[in-house]
Amino acid sequence: MADEPQHTHVHSHQEEENKRYCWVCYASDEDDETAPWVKPCKCRGTTKWVHQSCLQRWVDEKQKGNSTVKVNCPQCGVEYFIAFPNMGQLMLFLDRVDAFIYKVCPFVAAGVVVGSIYWTAVTYGAITVMQVVGYQEGMGVMEQADPLVLLVGLPTIPVFLILGKMVRWEDKVLRLVRAAVSRLPFLKYILPAFRHEEGGGGNGGGGGGGASTTAVISDPVNATRVLCGALSLPTLATIAGRLFFPSAQDNLTRTLLGGASFLVVKGLFKVYYKQQQHVMQSRRKIIDYPQDPPPPPPTATTTPHSSSSDLPPSSPDDNTQEGGEG
């Protein structure tokens, strides 16, 4: 008789373990006796069972319409084995074709983009040749050249222009000028923009305590600016050549002279601009916070309404005249 309570406890514990609970909707066998159950993973205990319909909805949420996505158990991490019904050879063929197209499309799109960029570069190179050497001369050169040379050489024209635009030769010139001015003081009178170097911290007391320590203004590379500047260089060189070198022998010489002049003048302006930025940055000063708030701006004063006491007294003649008119 003493073993009977222990036997009853073990029996009830086994019944509790054999009872199925869905880990999605938390329902048991007693809640829905007709719902199909499935044990899809290595989980044990009450979490190993789940309703087929609940698991289907959970898998749909994970796949988000893409049936090829693999779904794993959130507890044990085992991949679910999903079996599809046999829909015939035609459906199998169409499914494979769809998967093949899905994998190939990114490569086709990349090829289209690369091809478009390539033929755009070829067209730009041909237009640049005709623009630099002249229309007739350019057409003659390209007609006499080998087609393979044109297909390889023309796309390199915008590439070299962009690479040349990325060369920061102005920064090197600015450093050389600063070094020369520091070594040869008389250059400060020839280059007034560099005079601020003498007595560099005079504005801030204590030997430059109020000066900024920033030596060079950062100039990050802007992709769109580099692209636009590089691709517009042949046009700007042609315009500058026609304006300043109209007596040149041929179009190529005129364009080269115009391009060189444009780059030199533009570079000098950029060197001056960066130097002035450096001066402005080194002379900046942080001011004290004002203790007293600034007075409010003056507002338009309103004219006070006149009262009866401010009006001048009326004369008897005025009253008589008003009475006569009445």
Domain boundaries, the chain: 3-63, 89-148, 166-197+221-285
φ and ψ at residue 74, rounded to 5 degrees: -70, -15
CATH architecture of 3-63: 2-Layer Sandwich (3.30)
User: Which of 3-17, 283-297, 309-323 is predicted most confidently?
Assistant: 283-297
φ and ψ at residue 256, rounded to 5 degrees: -65, -45
pLDDT band at residue 310, thresholds of 50, 70 and 90? very low
β-pair partners for 79: 72
Which pLDDT value is given to residue 119? 96
Q: What pLDDT score was predicted for residue 99?
A: 86
- Provide the pLDDT for residue 63: 85
Question: Is a pLDDT exceeding 80 seen at residue 59?
Answer: yes
What's the pLDDT at 323? 46
Identify the pLDDT of residue 2: 47
For residues 148 and 144, give the distance between their C-alpha atoms in angstroms, rounded to a whole number: 12
Put simply, whether the predicted model's pTM sits higher than 0.75 gets the answer: no
Q: Which two tokens stand for residue 282?
A: 């080194």
pLDDT at 128: 95
What is the pLDDT confidence band of residue 24, given thresholds at 50, 70 and 90?
A: confident
Out of 9-23, 80-94, 145-159, 236-250, which region has the weakest mean confidence (pLDDT)? 9-23
Tell me: pLDDT of 65 over 60: yes
Whether residue 311 has pLDDT greater than 60: no
d(CA 195, CA 311): 71
- The Cβ of residue 201 has, within 10 Å, a number of other Cβ atoms equal to 13
* Residue 37 parent element (H or E): strand 37-38
Instruction: For the chain, give the percent of residues with pLDDT over 70.
Output: 78
Q: Please, what is the angle between helix 89-133 and helix 251-282, to 10°?
A: 100
Question: How much is the pLDDT for 306?
Answer: 46
Q: What is the pLDDT of residues 197-239, one digit of tens each?
A: 544 444 444 444 444 444 455 567 789 999 999 999 999 999 9
